[in-house]
Amino acid sequence: MHRYARLSFALLALTAGAASAQPVYRQVAPNGKVTFSDQAPAANARPATAATGAAPVDNGGGPALPYELQQVVQRYPVTIYTRDDCAPCDAGRSLLSTRGVPFNERQIKTPEDGDALQRLSGQNALPMLTIGAQQLKGFSDGEWSQYLDAAGYPKSIRLPSGYRSPPAQPMVAQRSAPVSTPATAPATAAPPPRPATPEGPTPSNPAGIKF
């Protein structure tokens, strides 16, 4: 823990329900980055409040979350990374829904999505759950529940009636190809104006007769 000697820690030693469950500690660095660890903080560490400013879950303009739940969502937003035909992904999503955890979902469907996941986590195993800055790779009911408890998420649904989780989005936003505009044909030059017919007598029309 020497490299954390100057970090600030906030202790949330909450177990997953069993007496023998290993506690999880929330650690807050001076720069506001929050991580979770099963290692106890140093004895001389100073308590600190959790960082704020993380992007909350967008409920699409639906009913507002209870105040206490809003605070947790703002501090530790939850995102699950999934793909189609993935039973563990379905189990992870079900756990979040059963507990009433507001979450965003990012789906891995294209090579670009896979590359983005690799850059984010250093691997391509799914599902992956992020709680604030903490990454949980692979589904484990006990581990996910333990970290959600430590972050302060309720164990039972406290969402308002009518709340709907935002729809799943691709890991990499798809950009539509620009619509090509056909080239405009150059405008045809207007014919030069006809010279005005002189009025009055001329050498070829001494009488100045008009027809």
Query: Hey, what long-range contacts does 68-71 have (CB within 8 A, 24 or more apart)?
Result: 69/102, 69/153, 69/154, 69/158, 69/159, 71/152
Using the CB atoms, write b or e for 71-80: b if 16+ within 10 Å. Answer: ebbbbbbbbb
What are the structure tokens assigned to 14, written together?
């909450």
Report the Cα–Cα distance between both ends of the chain, in Å, rounded. 111
Distance CA 57, CA 74 (A): 8
pLDDT at 82: 98
List the domains of the chain with CATH numbers.
52-170 (3.40.30.10)
- More confident of the two residues 156 and 41: 156
pLDDT higher than threshold 50 for residue 139: yes
Share of the chain above pLDDT 70, in %: 53
Name the residue with tokens 């639906």: 62
pLDDT at 87: 97
- Least confident stretch, 41-45, 73-77, 190-194: 41-45
- Least confident stretch, 109-113, 135-139, 172-176: 172-176
Average of pLDDT values for 17-21? 40
* Plot region of 28 (φ>0 → left; ψ -120 to 50 → alpha; else → beta): beta
**Confidence class of residue 165 from pLDDT cuts 50, 70 and 90?**
confident
Nearest to 105 by CA among 133, 84, 87, 121: 84
- More confident of the two residues 23 and 135: 135
Distance CA 78, CA 200 (A): 94
- Least confident stretch, 27-36, 96-105, 118-127: 27-36
Q: What pTM was estimated for this model as a whole?
A: 0.59
pLDDT at 150: 96
Beta bridge partners of 104: 79
